[in-house]
Amino acid sequence: MTADKNNSKQGGAVVEGAGRAFAMDLLHPRYWGVWAGIGLMTLIRLLPRPLRNGLGSVLGRLYLKKDSNHRHYARVNLAICFPELSPQERYELLKKHFIRFFQVILDAPLFWWGNDAMVRKRVRVVGAEEADKAIKAGESVIFLVSHSLSIDAITTRLAIDYKMQGFYKPFKNPVIDWLIFRLRSKRGGRLAARGEGFKTVIRDLKRGMTLFYLSDEDLGRDGSVFAPFFGRPKATLAMLPRITSMTGAKVFPVYCHYLPESGSYQISILPALKDYPSGDAVKDACLLNRATENTVMICPEQYLWKLRYFKTQPDPDTKNPYRQARDGEFDLPL
């Protein structure tokens, strides 16, 4: 059982969707290629699951052969985070990662166009009891979401049952921006631009909205502290302890992974962080990163390894590991 369905899903602020309503400009010929891709993916989504997964497997294996930045970043991340594995074992993990990546991508139209009943049927939520109990007791709840391949399955499924708000980074392509913004807000969610809306987020947390919060991406030195992530220092946002202190919110780590055998998804909500925040920024960042590590280990190949999680170094004069690897200076075998 999840949060009270009688509560309004909209918080104290107006849902910020008017600026991204569908406009005729999105049908300009320069966007026809994007629309064609969306249409093709929607048609592929109608294929039987074994065929769709098979196509995703082929695309993943082909992409693995491409000398892309994403493959490079993923290889370096896996070497940093799993040094105990052999290069061959990490290669197999990387292959699984890209296969699952394309299988999830080809299933994306389910979340673009599917109704609540379809999403409920395909996405299972486990471990929600503690969060539901906190909400019913009038406590604020923050979902600390890790960057898994199935992140939009989380935003879509949880928004059915919870009054959701979160931060949003606009996409450069206006058609993609319209599609993703629609996906993440159509069930009543409120999206705030990064760096804006802090007071509104605090207010709405106190009024009963949950917060969908991503903390594992490296967003630079400003506003971050360095704490170990899989044993290596990582720039970690220090905003969440401030939000938690001001609202008394409980923080629940969340992860989602795709189950190709059944074509379903599982959202895992882990127990709330203990003794958080502590008042020590580095200690809190360590706890946050450790919580993310725990979620990643639920299904390691489905973490979004292509992101540059270690691009910011404690010493600004030191090359990041991705450049070191390009220059032949990396200290781990790839």
User: For residue 153, is it within any domain?
Assistant: yes
Question: What are 194's two structure tokens?
Answer: 């990064």
- For 55, phi then psi, to 5°, come to -65, -40
- C-alpha Rg value of the chain to the nearest Å: 20
216 pLDDT band, cuts 50/70/90, is very high
Residue span of the structural domain in which 268 resides: 32-326
The reported pLDDT for the residue numbered 9 is 40
Most confident of 162-176, 283-297, 319-333: 283-297
Q: Average pLDDT for residues 206-223, to the nearest whole number? A: 92
Query: What does the block give as tokens for 206?
Result: 């106190």
Average pLDDT for 34-50: 96
For the stretch 282-317, pLDDT in tens is: 999 999 999 999 999 999 999 999 999 999 999 999
Is residue 38 in a domain? Answer: yes
Per DSSP, the residues of 214-272 read E--S---STTEEEEEETTEEEEEE-HHHHHHHHHT-EEEEEEEEEETTTTEEEEEEPPP
Report the Cα 93 to chain-centroid distance in Å: 19
Cα-flanking dihedrals φ and ψ of residue 41, to 5°?
-65, -35
DSSP letter at 21 equals S
Let me know if residue 27 belongs to a domain.
Answer: no
What global pTM score does this model have? 0.90
User: Is the Cβ–Cβ distance between 253 and 141 less than 8 Å?
Assistant: no
Q: What is the mean pLDDT of residues 218-244?
A: 95
CA distance 59 to 44: 13
Distance CA 45, CA 109 (A): 7
Read off the pLDDT band of 197 (50, 70, 90).
low
Per-residue pLDDT tens for 67-120?
999 999 999 999 999 999 999 999 999 999 999 999 999 999 999 999 999 999
Decide: helix, strand or coil at residue 327: coil
* pLDDT top residue among 247 and 14: 247
Domain annotation covers residue 4: no
Chain mean pLDDT for the chain: 91
* Residue 155: both structure tokens together: 């935003």
> With bands split at pLDDT 50, 70 and 90, how would you rate the model's confidence at 144?
very high
Tally of structural domains, the chain: 1
